[in-house]
Structure 1
């Protein structure tokens, strides 16, 4: 997505005469839109052959009977200054999208020479309005660059950059109360209608949660278990994913007992909070808590009873010896947890991302 998302105050249009002229794209614009996508959206630009093929495919879809809609701003020299492209697709109907129609915002792009003028906002707003009014779209989705999120959130999208969504239902008729409150038609047009709790929840980013227990031996060397199912995370703390209705410490106690036979007693002492963004292989973010399980005697470590379906070895090593055995992000988390135990200050591990193993 374009990074032209927050026009400077001096450049932002202030009145009708200052606003850029936005028009609906036609089949004749297919090549220009394709080139904008190639140059300013894709990480690797398309070859001329692929530009030709994509333009030929897009052209018939940019018609009233096609499934593509786009709005553009023309530069004074006749080239394309900015564009926004959406592809319409059917979905199973639901209260938040009663017509069973959704749109994926495929492209929002602005030529570098025309950025910081509100062009991205203008073409995207026109596109959203058209989709809602003409194509009965109420569910909108897009993938965003991190720097583009402020604009999309302002227009009503929510979620993580991996998938931002917005549900825009038909606006109710204006009331006297609206007028008294100073709500103008122009302001209300881009504000999402108030949703039911279920509808709102459907727009939010989803997360999985886990909880685990950090043990050391009496010399403060971390105790970890070797996984039989996860080569990406070969060495793990005792713990796992939360079940419905569980609180984090309850999960940690249950998972520890199932995986090691050890029973952890409270009160809970939080060592670290962990967060990771979703990745290509998993669509949800990850939230976790690491609790202090204390120091184990040699007898306790020797009595650990592993679940062979999950782990096949227990090791006790110093931090420097753990480092070469683990992915960088896993070791960073382990090191942060060890420091939290040592200093008494809980750690925050905020970059335990899925695609960063």
Structure 2
């Protein structure tokens, strides 16, 4: 049986640390129950658990396609597990060995979280799959797990639309005239609008003249507020303060004060809707403006101008957004700007 001791920091050999071990067919039911308790939206019945456990037992046996690692709770049931399923694919440059794996489940019981268990079992799983020649990995990670996956080398990217064909009709509620179709949450989510989020900080100088940065990568949006795209797991205020510090060196203190909610429809430039928040960063002194440190990969100039002098330097929709934000600062009433659409120019 393979095992390794690993602690919350992911290092092996830490005295008293929980033991990560490779799952055997005897662990099948425990893994199925942990997945059903933690990972599924509705708890399956005992018949489903029995059928799934029988299949899992066979797939964890020698020659099966399942690989799993677990950390046991004091009562002997799995406190945390990571389950991967191996499948062959046609060889290609990104997968020369023709073996791929889907990280099917990473789950930890609530009472055992925040101890590094998920990282430990997932690390062991990925290492094992690498040792078996797997070179292409897929994982449908939620927001909470995204940061962990990134630390282990996973990267988000554009993916084709996921389509699922059900062998059995979906459950319907009501009669013919009032029936309503209820899809599983994962499938229903695929039918909804997709959007990306951003968050910015609005600064002015002591005379209320807007402060902006000149982009080196976007001819469409040449002058920008300090800010950027939200990363998985971030909240808007976290994005705004992180991006502001990275782009200007300015650390913004809270509490957050929202100046504007911004929305844009998709277009030729970007395939998703855009939703964003603009927060008030306050007034900068001349000394603070002189000390701004730009990231040369993103911006090459910081400038302060009266609002009206920004108009000829920006697309109309960008200037309209800037004007709405400035008015929100002046009046104390947050702006709602919903025509920051892509591809209008």
With the length of structure 1 as denominator, give the TM-score of the two structures: 0.49
How many residues are treated as equivalent by the alignment?
184
- 1:116 counterpart residue number: none
Q: Encode CA deviations 1:83-139: one digit per residue, 9 max, x unaligned.
A: xxxxxxxxxxxxxxxxxxxxxxxxxxxxxxxxxxxxxxxxxxxxxxxxxxxxxxxxx
Could you tell me whether the CA contact under 8 Å between 1:273 and 1:289 is conserved in 2?
A: yes
- 1:185 counterpart residue number: 176
* CA distance 1:186–1:168, change in 2 (3 Å): farther
Q: Distance in 2 between matches of 1:332 and 1:295?
A: 21
Structure 1 residue 278: Cα displacement: 0.6
Aligned pair 1:347/2:335, yes or no?
yes
Aligned pair 1:233/2:221, yes or no?
yes
Aligned pair 1:223/2:211, yes or no?
yes
Structure 1 residue 282: Cα displacement: 1.7
Structure 1 residue 281: Cα displacement: 2.8
Which of 297, 304, 308 lines up with 1:316 in the alignment?
A: 304
3-state DSSP of counterpart to 1:321: helix
Which of 208, 213, 237 lines up with 2:196 in the alignment?
A: 208
* CA distance 1:312–1:173, change in 2 (3 Å): closer
- 1:96 counterpart residue number: none
Aligned pair 1:255/2:243, yes or no?
yes
Aligned pair 1:307/2:295, yes or no?
yes
Q: Distance in 2 between matches of 1:252 and 1:265?
A: 11
Q: Distance in 2 between matches of 1:242 and 1:172?
A: 35
Could you tell me whether the CA contact under 8 Å between 2:196 and 2:274 is conserved in 1?
A: yes
Q: Encode CA deviations 1:6-44: one digit per residue, 9 max, x unaligned.
A: xxxxxxxxxxxxxxxxxxxxxxxxxxxxxxxxxxxxxxx
Structure 1 residue 166: Cα displacement: 10
* CA distance 1:301–1:186, change in 2 (3 Å): same
Q: Distance in 1 between matches of 2:171 and 2:300?
A: 65
Q: Distance in 1 between matches of 2:250 and 2:321?
A: 23
Segments ≥4 residues shifted beyond 6 Å: 165-168
Could you tell me whether the CA contact under 8 Å between 2:250 and 2:292 is conserved in 1?
A: yes
Q: What is the RMSD of the two structures over their aligned residues, measured on CA atoms?
A: 2.3
Structure 1 residue 355: Cα displacement: 1.9
| Structure 2: unaligned runs, 5 residues or longer | 1-161
Q: Distance in 1 between matches of 2:259 and 2:171?
A: 52
3-state DSSP of counterpart to 2:214: strand
3-state DSSP of counterpart to 1:185: coil
Farther off after superposition, 195-204 or 255-264 = 195-204
Q: Encode CA deviations 1:34-56: one digit per residue, 9 max, x unaligned.
A: xxxxxxxxxxxxxxxxxxxxxxx
Could you tell me whether the CA contact under 8 Å between 2:310 and 2:319 is conserved in 1?
A: yes
Q: Distance in 2 between matches of 1:173 and 1:256?
A: 48
- 1:289 counterpart residue number: 277
Q: Distance in 1 between matches of 2:201 and 2:263?
A: 16
Q: Distance in 1 between matches of 2:228 and 2:292?
A: 17
Structure 1 residue 283: Cα displacement: 1.4
Q: Distance in 2 between matches of 1:341 and 1:281?
A: 30
Q: Distance in 2 between matches of 1:214 and 1:173?
A: 49
Could you tell me whether the CA contact under 8 Å between 1:166 and 1:203 is conserved in 2?
A: no
| Structure 1: unaligned runs, 5 residues or longer | 1-164
3-state DSSP of counterpart to 2:218: coil
Instruction: Report matched runs for 1:1-357 at 5 Å.
Output: 171=169, 183-188=174-179, 191-192=180-181, 194-357=182-345
Could you tell me whether the CA contact under 8 Å between 2:170 and 2:183 is conserved in 1?
A: no
With the length of structure 2 as denominator, give the TM-score of the two structures: 0.51
Structure 1 residue 218: Cα displacement: 0.2
Could you tell me whether the CA contact under 8 Å between 1:221 and 1:319 is conserved in 2?
A: yes
Could you tell me whether the CA contact under 8 Å between 2:212 and 2:226 is conserved in 1?
A: yes
Q: Distance in 2 between matches of 1:292 and 1:239?
A: 12
